[in-house]
């Protein structure tokens, strides 16, 4: 490795954030040969010599030679963090990096943002600052959270705003759980999701939305888990996240680091929600006798069943790709990838937006996925895997559905008093809804009719500096409160 890799600090917020964190750090520990007490375990054989790990990007080495994850975990109530404090990983973390309060945010964004959460912000930032100061140079942050929880939405918004303010030039990535109806736990999740999306749209550089329903189906359908629970879902998420960060932790013939893939994936600052896909999803039984050809793995990423976000067929059908980033790991060579991508382009009829014809960015990392995280781990690594991050206009469907659910409740002003009693006003909801409406509009503008390409470019170009109101106004369209966008529910105000 070149030794110039800079450090990444991860922040896990709320129940989903912390539980995903637990799975991710378990997996990193196995990949790095770092035990649950933070000490190096015996290297796992030839793979370590051929592909040595760079611990320092994600772990801080203490003078005693222990490795501490560069991470801060916070929840406003104690049980989830206590499970880590008293669980098998308790020796891995310093007590100051595990923060918990007494009372959760009760599924209320306002409690996470204005009241309960705000009183923990300083402590969280202080803990992040200690890691930042003990780093040679921070490359960026990865924040894990749910969009639907009160802590995951409210406190995350506060932290994200502060990170942008205090570390302006560092990249800010997010892994976030979208509220999926079958697996979500509260009726007000669409409110929280809308509010956090609004608050973080300009403070986040790239956000990977995963949807529990899609992951549930992968777990039940492809990995034969009878009743998937959060640990099953989180293990799948952790494998995918590990592929995204592998280039920062292990060498590769064609490593693509975080900044590089962002440069290729995010054409305009707000259009930063790549769809994740992964292959293979294989159980021990299924993978025992096969080593899937690269062409099959690559093709699988374009199958909805391998994607971590569920989109309707109609959303896929009407969509275009802006860019795809394929991150391979394990025994993979460039020649096979080129062949696979050519094959996919010819057979799948992928449609890219006219103004971004190049399409694919490829990374190869030498480290294969770990064979299995634990005896209960149903997903086995095999010798190779691929993670696809594709910026596709199909993801706009996520916002359409969220807006619809939000509107149904907001039309009646249902549940709003809970937010008002914690310091919020109706106008905050309207502003958030308007911002996301303009985001949908941004996505629509990415697929211009040929005649309008030139002007559409100019409009999209201005989103970064001027904010969303400016976009709507300058693009010559009425903003959504004036009733030009559908669904026009809030225009009744």
Ligand X SMILES: Nc1nc2c(ncn2[C@@H]2O[C@H](COP(=O)(O)OP(=O)(O)OP(=O)(O)O)[C@@H](O)[C@H]2O)c(=O)[nH]1
| Neighbour-count burial for 419-434, b at 16+ CB within 10 Å, e otherwise | beebebeeebbebbbb
In order of 350, 389, 398, the CA distances from 439 in angstroms are 24, 20, 11
With beta carbons less than 8 A apart as the criterion, state whether 399 and 438 touch: no
Cβ at position 16, least distance to ligand X in Å: 3
DSSP class per residue in 313-348? HHHHHT--EEEEEEEEEES--HHHHHHHHHHHHHHH
Binding partner at 150 among ligand X, Mg ion, none, C-beta below 5 to 8 Å by kind: ligand X
489: nearest Cα among 422, 434, 451: 434
106: nearest Cα among 166, 194, 199, 185: 185
Cβ at position 133, least distance to ligand X in Å: 28
182: nearest Cα among 211, 213, 219: 213
Binding partner at 212 among Mg ion, ligand X, none, C-beta below 5 to 8 Å by kind: ligand X
Cβ at position 17, least distance to ligand X in Å: 6
Q: Which is nearer to ligand X, 196 or 323 (CB)?
A: 196
Q: Which residues pair with 172 in a beta bridge?
A: 141
Q: Which is nearer to ligand X, 146 or 239 (CB)?
A: 146
* Dihedral pair phi/psi, residue 159, rounded to 5°: -65, -45
- Alpha carbon distance 272, 487 (integer Å): 23
Q: Which is nearer to Mg ion, 75 or 315 (CB)?
A: 75
173: nearest Cα among 140, 148, 145, 202: 140
Out of 31, 104, 174, 428, the residue judged to bind Mg ion by CB under 5 A: 104
Taken in order 351, 353, 356, 362, the sign of the CA dihedral is negative
Cβ at position 146, least distance to Mg ion in Å: 9
Check binding of 219 to Mg ion (CB under 5 A): no
Q: Interface with Mg ion by CB under 5 A: which range of 82-90, 100-108, 117-125, 307-315? A: 100-108
Q: Interface with Mg ion by CB under 5 A: which range of 7-15, 190-198, 304-312, 352-360? A: 7-15
Q: Which residues bind ligand X (CB under 6 A)?
A: 14-16, 19-20, 75-76, 104-107, 146, 148-152, 177, 179, 183-185, 189, 212, 230, 233-234
Out of 5, 7, 10, 15, the residue judged to bind Mg ion by CB under 5 A: 15
Site string for Mg ion, 142-181 (x = CB under 5 A): ----------------------------------------
SS3 61: strand
Residue number, nearest CB to Mg ion: 15
Instruction: Give catalytic residue positions.
Output: 260
- Alpha carbon distance 315, 91 (integer Å): 46
Cβ at position 13, least distance to Mg ion in Å: 10
Task: Specify the residue for token string 């860019």.
Answer: 323
Site string for Mg ion, 59-98 (x = CB under 5 A): ----------------------------------------
Binding partner at 105 among ligand X, Mg ion, none, C-beta below 5 to 8 Å by kind: ligand X
Cβ at position 172, least distance to ligand X in Å: 19
Write out the residues near Mg ion by the rule CB under 5 A: 15, 104
């Amino acid at each position: 490795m070149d030794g110039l890799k800079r450090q990444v600090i991860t922040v896990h917020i709320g129940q989903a954030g912390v539980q995903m964190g637990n799975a991710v750090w378990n997996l990193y520990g196995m990949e790095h040969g770092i035990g649950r007490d933070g000490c190096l375990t015996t290297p796992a054989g030839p793979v370590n010599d051929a592909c040595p790990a760079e611990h320092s990007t994600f772990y801080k080495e203490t003078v005693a030679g222990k490795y501490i994850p560069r991470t801060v975990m916070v929840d406003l109530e104690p049980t989830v963090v206590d499970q880590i404090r008293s669980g098998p990983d308790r020796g891995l973390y310093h007590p100051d990096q595990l923060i918990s309060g007494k009372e959760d945010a009760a599924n209320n964004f306002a409690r996470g943002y204005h009241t309960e959460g705000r009183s923990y912000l300083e402590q969280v930032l202080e803990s992040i600052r200690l890691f930042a100061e003990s780093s040679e140079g921070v490359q960026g942050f990865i924040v894990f959270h749910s969009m639907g929880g009160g802590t995951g939405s409210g406190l995350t918004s506060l932290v994200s705003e502060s990170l942008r303010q205090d570390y302006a030039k560092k990249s800010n990535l997010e892994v976030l759980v979208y509220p999926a109806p079958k697996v979500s736990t509260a009726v007000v999740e669409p409110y929280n999701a809308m509010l956090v999306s609004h608050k973080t749209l300009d403070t986040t550089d790239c956000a990977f939305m995963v949807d529990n329903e899609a992951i549930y189906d992968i777990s039940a359908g492809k990995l034969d888990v009878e009743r998937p629970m959060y640990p099953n879902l989180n293990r799948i998420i952790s494998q995918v996240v590990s592929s995204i960060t592998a280039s920062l932790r292990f060498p590769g013939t064609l490593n693509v680091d975080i900044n590089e893939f962002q440069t290729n994936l995010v054409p305009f600052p707000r259009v930063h929600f790549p769809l994740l896909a992964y292959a293979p999803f294989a159980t021990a039984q299924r993978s025992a006798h096969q080593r899937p050809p690269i062409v099959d793995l690559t093709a699988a990423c374009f199958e909805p069943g391998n994607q971590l976000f569920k989109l309707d067929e109609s959303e896929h059908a009407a969509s275009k790709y802006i860019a795809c980033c394929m991150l391979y790991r394990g025994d993979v060579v460039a020649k096979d990838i080129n062949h696979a991508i050519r094959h996919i382009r010819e057979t799948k009829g992928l449609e890219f937006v006219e103004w971004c014809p190049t399409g694919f960015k490829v990374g190869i990392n030498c480290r294969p996925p770990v064979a299995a995280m634990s005896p209960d781990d149903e997903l086995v690594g095999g010798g190779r895997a691929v993670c696809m991050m594709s910026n596709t206009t199909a993801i706009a469907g996520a916002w359409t559905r969220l807006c619809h659910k939000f509107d149904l409740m907001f039309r009646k002003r249902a549940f709003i008093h809970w937010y008002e009693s914690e310091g919020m006003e109706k106008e905050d909801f309207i502003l958030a809804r308007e911002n996301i409406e303009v985001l949908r509009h941004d996505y629509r503008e990415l697929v211009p009719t040929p005649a309008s390409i030139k002007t559409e470019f100019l409009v999209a170009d201005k989103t970064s500096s001027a904010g969303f109101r400016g976009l709507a106004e300058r693009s010559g369209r009425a903003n959504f409160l004036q009733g030009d966008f559908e669904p026009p529910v809030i225009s009744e105000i």
